[in-house]
Amino acid sequence: MSLRGRLTIETLPETQRSLGAAEAGGQIDMAAVEALDTAGAWALLQAQKRAEATGHALEIVNLSESHRHLLETVAAAMPEPERRRRTIPGRPDDGLANLGQEVAQGLRGSLTSVGFFGEVVAHLGALVLHPTRLKLTPLVHHMQEAGWNAVPIVSLMGFLIGIVLAFQGSTQLKPFGAEVYVVDLVAISILRELGILLTAIIVAGRSASAFTAAIGSMKMREEIDAMRVLGLDPIDRLVLPRLIALVLLLPALGFIASLAGLLGGGLMAWIDLGITPGMFRTQLLANTDVTHAIIGLVKAPFFAVIIAVIGCHQGMQVSGNAESLGSHTSRSVVQAIFLVIVVDAFFSIFFAVWGL
């Protein structure tokens, strides 16, 4: 095949039609070509690739020095075709690579969370030095949203847990004639562990998701960027009020849940075992030390920090679409509940080692 005239972008459709007959292989004579640009060079290289794909060789001959140099330059700049790995039927593709990516992503997420926590601590230190930076209006608002509005569900949860503990304890202790120790079982379990732990789990599912959704929505609408442009720090305006509100209110919620749990346990002990409220109170005061209640409430501020930091951090990580918002909202709840349980386990080991 002999080409002549101009092989440029203006004549690209005609050039491609002429090269369609060259896919069967052979030679392309370029001696009569007057002009060649990158579009014409691309068309020649594409014709060569199509010929090679059919098992034929297509050679370009009689190139001038400038045309040869242009053809080599375009060939070097063309992207390599993507090669797909051959998959083995019945075996997951790239399972090890996916595992590595998940581990790497988890490590990066942990590092960013630690960095965000350090930034929050630095802003808390600045707030201690300059208390006027804290705005009371958002603080009171979040205390109501995360604290007061959670009282009904927390009370109901504590009441039902007390009923379940008393019922199951009475079932196990009746054969031994030790029904009276149901009071100790309910009191120590709720005051020391279950009251504050289940409260923290409920608050994690309720408030961590709310924090992520609220801050993530602001991130999607670029309101956080606008705050930075106006010289307002998002940590001071969005994170610290939520953190301080939870630190102040979670101990109170845990205390309310514990009281409701004792009320539910006392009611079930009265119905199922005949332990009157007076007997329940006497046994409670005689055998249950106030240390158990203090140990339970000591954990509350730590749980509050975990829930608030994770919820706000996940909200800050949201990108500009609804799918990202939903993903980070779910992730904040899972991470907050997981870390609350892990920290509670560490506290249990710590108090057991010190004999508390």
* Token code pair at residue 327: 């993903």
> Residue range 162-179: average pLDDT?
84
Please measure the distance between the N-terminal and C-terminal CA atoms of the chain and give it in whole angstroms.
94
What angle in degrees, to the nearest 10, is found between the helix axes of 290-316 and 209-220? 20
Q: d(Cα 299, Cα 147) in Å, to the nearest integer?
A: 17
What local confidence, expressed as pLDDT, does residue 123 receive?
85
Q: What is the pLDDT of residues 255-296, one digit of tens each?
A: 999 999 999 988 988 888 888 888 888 888 888 888 888 888
Instruction: Give the integer Cα–Cα distance in Å for 8 and 26.
Output: 22
Tell me what pLDDT residue 119 has: 86
* 33 bridge partner residues: 5
pLDDT of residue 2: 76
Range of lowest pLDDT (15-29, 100-114, 131-145): 15-29
Domain extents in the chain: 2-77, 110-353
> Is the pLDDT score of 89 beyond 60?
no
Pair 183, 287: CB distance under 8 Å: yes
Query: What string of DSSP letters covers 182-249?
Result: HHHHHHHIIIIIIHHHHHHHHHIIIIIHHHHHHHHHHHHTTHHHHHHHTT--HIIIIIHHHHHHHHHH
Following DSSP, what letter does each residue of 158-180 receive, concatenated? HHHHHHHHHHHHHHHHGGGT-GG
Judged on CB neighbours under 10 Å (0-12, 13-18, 19+), 56 is middle
Each residue of 115-146: pLDDT tens digit?
A: 888 888 888 888 888 888 888 888 888 888 88
Tens of pLDDT along 32-68?
A: 777 888 887 888 788 888 777 777 777 777 778 888 8
Measured distance CA(273)–CA(171) in Å, rounded: 10
The answer on pLDDT for 97 being more than 80 is no
Q: Give the C-alpha distances (Å, rounded to integers) separating 330 from 158, 205, 292.
A: 25, 9, 33
pLDDT at residue 87, as a whole number: 53
3-state secondary structure of 274: coil
Q: Does domain 2-77 have CATH number 3.40.50.1220?
A: no
| 52: CB partners within 8 A, 6+ apart | 58
Give the chain's radius of gyration (CA, Å).
35
Packing angle of the helix pair 38-53, 12-19 (nearest 10 deg): 20
CA distance 242 to 352: 32
Residue 210 has pLDDT above 70, yes or no: yes
Neighbour tally for 295: CB within 10 Å: 18
